[in-house]
Amino acid sequence: MIVTLTANPSLDRTVALPGPLERGEVQRAVSVRQESGGKGVNVSRALVTSGLETLAVLPGAESDPVLAGLRDEGVPFASLAIHEALRTNVALTEPGGVTTKINEPGPVLAEDAQEALISLLLERSRGASWVVLAGSLPPGVPADFYATVTRRLRNADAGAGVPKIAVDSSGAPLAAAVAGDAIGAASGKPDLLKPNAEELAELAAAAGFSSASTAEELEADPYAAAAAAAAVVRSGVGAVLATLGSKGAVLVTADGAWLATHPPVTAVSTVGAGDSSLAGYLLAASQGAAPADCLRQAVAHGAAAASLPGSTVPAVHQTTPDAVTITALRKD
């Protein structure tokens, strides 16, 4: 069982344009898609399509369109009832996959609701193999929320072992997750981190990595990306799965570093491709695959997602892991 927590879920609307986005002009859409979203929700959606047991934990009223969408897709979930409507995010996609996103902040989650959401997660994650903490945080939630949740999960008396914890976020919540928390820095750090190139560059700088690199430089140089990820691993994170866009992904653990690349695909929408990559990794990990093969499935999932419209998630039979090339790298 893989449990996901999405503190700031959304209704994702994807508007496909017939040509490049023209600012200040009227353009007609080719198509519009709508799916329940948020990073953790997307991971659960992708796992369900491949037949893996999962549960999405999130706030939301029973009548909210996000929860209704999960019911329609057959995605199991446990929700914390709130009165406010969940946010709607809009993505504008151009031919070739260029995507412009407009994300709403989401409803304020008060301190008592935060505690109730954590309690719900602790209750429903007993016996889980992985817990995924993913996405942005809604207004009112402190940046160290994921570090606090990680510590609470590890200190809980679940009676069935402590799940591994993956974090996929950005900005201050991601930085705080890597730093741990004030009560116990080590206990607040994740087993797996999934940054993109921009996030990896920020994390490596915060971890004291001497060779400052931009996102573009990391995408262009997998050895630099592996070295940056290794700096984050040395700070106490278990492993880093860094997605590098069309350049593939790098996985770094304490025992090794690997690059995975996929032949070019015709990109339709990049919305949710990173979430699908994380789902692919977890799918392989749940089957006992070696780290390099977890990376292989991650890249296969991400490539398949990019070739699908909107935030559509691929099933494992729609992915092509045999097309992925794995290269062992030096970490530094």
Q: List Cβ neighbours of 10 (8 Å cut-off, separation of 6 or more).
A: 36, 37, 38, 66, 86, 87, 88, 89, 103, 104, 106
Rounded CA-CA distance 17/3 in Å is 35
Rounded CA-CA distance 100/216 in Å is 18
| Nearest CA-CA partner of 42 in 199, 274, 318 | 274
Length of the chain: 332
Q: List, as one string, the DSSP characters of 223-290.
A: HHHHHHHHHHHHTT-SEEEEE-GGG-EEEEESS-EEEEE------S--TTHHHHHHHHHHHHHHTT--
Using the CB atoms, write b or e for 13-32: b if 16+ within 10 Å.
Answer: bbbbbeeeeeeeeeeeeeee
Q: Tell me which residues are annotated as active site.
A: 275
| Nearest CA-CA partner of 281 in 311, 238, 312, 310 | 238
133 touches 5 (CB < 8 A)? yes
Angle between helices 273-286 and 39-49 (to 10 degrees): 50
Q: List, as one string, the DSSP characters of 71-115.
A: HHHT--EEEE--SSPPEEEEEEE-TTS-EEEE--------HHHHH
First to last CA, the chain: 35
CA within 13 Å, CB half, 106 = 24
